[in-house]
Amino acid sequence: MLKTVVTSNTSLKTDGCSTGELNGILIELQDRYRQLEDDRKIVFGRQSYQQSRYSSYDEAGEVIAKDMELISKHIILYFQARQSVDKCQEHILADNFVVPFILLETSFRSIGVQSLILPTGNIVDASQLDKFYLDWECDEQPRRNTILMLQPYWTTSFRLLKEPMNRIVNQSEECIEKCLQMRKVINRELVNYEKFKYGMEDHSLRIMEVMSYLQGVQKASTAIKDCGHVAKIYNLKGKESPLYGVSDD
């Protein structure tokens, strides 16, 4: 049992505010997210973070691959149904959504602890990559080389989660416009929600706080992509991670 995880007070459960004060998309997204979490409990069998342990890169890769399928089923398909774009644009949006979503959600899930908490409840600690890149079948030197070369990318990914987001590459003007329209609707509903929850006087600070969390997720994603490129070029451990596979599409 890991003390750093047990002491975290972070919960991803939504609060029980009156749905009459919320707008449609936020309510539907809350429902979708609850379904996602319910499916995770079935797929991963997570009962409590009190049973957490360090995850290896093989285990983490399997977890992320399964989680991507669940995220696509409950979140990505929801937006695709709400706003239709060309199939090639759907692919671009999905690829550019899933990694930032995982980074942002994992960071939120891990508030209060130094490690990253996976959907299983197990953790990855950027300061203890020897536990992550552990492979008893390999010599010690390749593992040390992996940690030495990839440690800066892990550090950068952690540090850059708060910096401005980059524009999605290869996105068409029509797709950009539809994304902007959807973002305006979500932002409006978010403001209404925060007004209801915090009151007219205090909600603006909370909105600024939420927006600050969203800034820079794409740069953290860039660090992940760079990490994947280096891992593949030098044939390092973890090069098969599904997160790196998305970066190559």
What CATH number did the domain enclosing 208 receive?
1.10.565.10
> How far does Cα 3 stand from its chain's mean position?
23
Region label for 122, one of left (φ > 0), alpha (ψ between -120 and 50) or beta (otherwise): beta
228 belongs to a structural domain: yes
Helices (H), the chain: 3-6, 24-44, 57-71, 77-82, 87-109, 129-132, 140-159, 173-198, 203-214, 217-233, 242-248
19 belongs to a structural domain: no
196 belongs to a structural domain: yes
22 belongs to a structural domain: no
Domain tally, the chain: 1
Per-residue pLDDT of the chain (249 residues; tens, 9 = 90+): 454 454 444 444 444 444 444 568 888 999 999 999 999 999 998 655 555 788 888 889 999 999 999 999 999 999 888 878 888 888 888 888 888 899 888 888 887 677 888 999 898 887 788 888 876 555 666 777 788 888 877 777 776 653 333 345 567 888 878 887 888 888 888 888 888 877 766 677 777 677 666 666 666 777 777 777 777 777 777 777 777 766 554
> By the 8 A CB rule, do 199 and 148 touch?
no
211 belongs to a structural domain: yes
Provide the domain limits for residue 216. Answer: 27-244
2 belongs to a structural domain: no
99 belongs to a structural domain: yes
5 belongs to a structural domain: no
The residue among 74, 126, 125, 132 whose CA lies nearest residue 98 is 74
